[in-house]
């Protein structure tokens, strides 16, 4: 049985001071032994959020990292830097990074290798654009993203990874994929993992849905057999997140 994982991607929101206030608001209310809850604040708030979460089961994640260990990469952050702060999870290949910061399937693959080598748990994001869905090529797009991301990743490492299916057209738009649409792609992702590896790996990897998840639609999404969690943007910055992690209640 896969333990659900619900992560809040705070994106470029909250100063460190504001982040502490949000942790205070949420941390006790989101404590849930049946669900892994993770906060992914901006880099600048990681230390403050870590301190604020002291004694809590809520995990700490970063929103990105570089694939090199160190060097002349102005403005970038390495896996070791994150680990040193107590970070456990890292989002890799978010569509906003693919769209605005030149992230490609190749850099996603490099980052996935580095995160796993260092012992961070990667949350690898995949998902098609509106145009790709309208053209009916979403299965091919997501299949390519999954195959490229996992290139040369060993089975035991792959099993530790979390994959997030985030259709770009559903992010921040208030337009959620229907639970059937989300389930269909999450199932394809699992089938791909089975083809690349085996059914044990495929059945171990947790697959999240992300894109306008809120307190009203979470129950239906989480009721789907291949959806093991959510990657939540806007609603993770508010008290709604408490209801989201209590899905099904």
Ligand X SMILES: O=C(CO)COP(=O)(O)O
Question: Is 234 marked within a binding site?
Answer: yes
Nearer to ligand X, 168 or 193 (CB): 168
DSSP 8-state secondary structure symbol assigned to residue 246: T
Nearer to ligand X, 109 or 217 (CB): 217
Nearer to ligand X, 119 or 172 (CB): 172
Residue partners of 193: CB distance under 8 A and separation at least 6: 146, 150, 158, 163, 201, 202, 205
* Residue 20: half-sphere exposure toward Cβ, Cα within 13 Å: 7
SS3 state of residue 219: helix
Please state, in angstroms and rounded to a whole number, the distance separating the CA atoms of residues 150 and 6.
22
Q: Backbone phi, then psi, for 209, in 5-degree steps?
A: -105, 140
The residues that touch ligand X, with contacts defined as CB under 6 A, are 9, 94, 166, 171-172, 210-213, 231-235
Question: Is 169 marked within a binding site?
Answer: no
Question: Is 102 marked within a binding site?
Answer: no
Residue from 217, 207, 123, 142 nearest 177 by CA: 217
Closest CB 167 distance from ligand X, rounded Å:
10
Question: Is 127 marked within a binding site?
Answer: no
Please state, in angstroms and rounded to a whole number, the distance separating the CA atoms of residues 223 and 168.
22
Nearer to ligand X, 35 or 231 (CB): 231
Both tokens assigned to 1? 């049985």
Please state, in angstroms and rounded to a whole number, the distance separating the CA atoms of residues 158 and 134.
31
Closest CB 169 distance from ligand X, rounded Å:
10
Name the residues annotated as catalytic. 94, 166
Closest CB 212 distance from ligand X, rounded Å:
4
Question: Is 36 marked within a binding site?
Answer: no
What is the CA angle 8-13-15, rounded to 5? 115
Residue number with the shortest CB distance to ligand X?
A: 233
Q: Annotated binding site for substrate, which residues?
A: 9-11, 172, 212, 233-234
Enumerate the known binding-site residues.
Answer: 9-11, 172, 212, 233-234
């Amino acid at each position: 049985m896969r333990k659900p994982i619900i992560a809040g991607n705070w994106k470029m929101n909250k100063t460190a001071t504001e982040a502490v206030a949000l942790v205070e608001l949420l941390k006790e209310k989101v404590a849930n032994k049946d669900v892994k809850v993770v906060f992914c604040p901006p880099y600048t708030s990681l230390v403050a959020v870590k301190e604020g979460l002291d004694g809590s089961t809520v995990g700490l994640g970063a929103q990105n990292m570089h694939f090199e260990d160190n060097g002349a990469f102005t403005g970038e952050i390495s896996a070791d830097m994150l680990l040193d702060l107590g970070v456990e999870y890292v989002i890799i290949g978010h569509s906003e990074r693919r769209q605005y910061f030149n992230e490609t399937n190749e850099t996603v693959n490099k980052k996935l290798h580095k995160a796993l080598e260092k012992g961070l748990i990667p949350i690898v994001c995949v998902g098609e654009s509106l145009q790709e869905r309208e053209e009916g090529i979403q299965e091919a797009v997501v299949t390519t993203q999954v195959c490229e991301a996992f290139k040369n990743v060993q089975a035991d490492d792959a099993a530790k990874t979390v994959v997030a299916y985030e259709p770009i057209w559903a992010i921040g738009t208030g337009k959620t994929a229907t639970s059937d649409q989300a389930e269909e792609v999450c199932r394809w992702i699992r089938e791909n993992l089975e083809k690349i590896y085996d059914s044990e790996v495929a059945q171990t990897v947790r697959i999240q849905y992300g894109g306008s998840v809120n307190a009203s639609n979470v129950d239906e999404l989480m009721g789907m057999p291949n959806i093991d969690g959510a990657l939540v943007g806007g609603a993770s910055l508010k008290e709604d997140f408490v209801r989201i992690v209590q899905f099904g209640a």
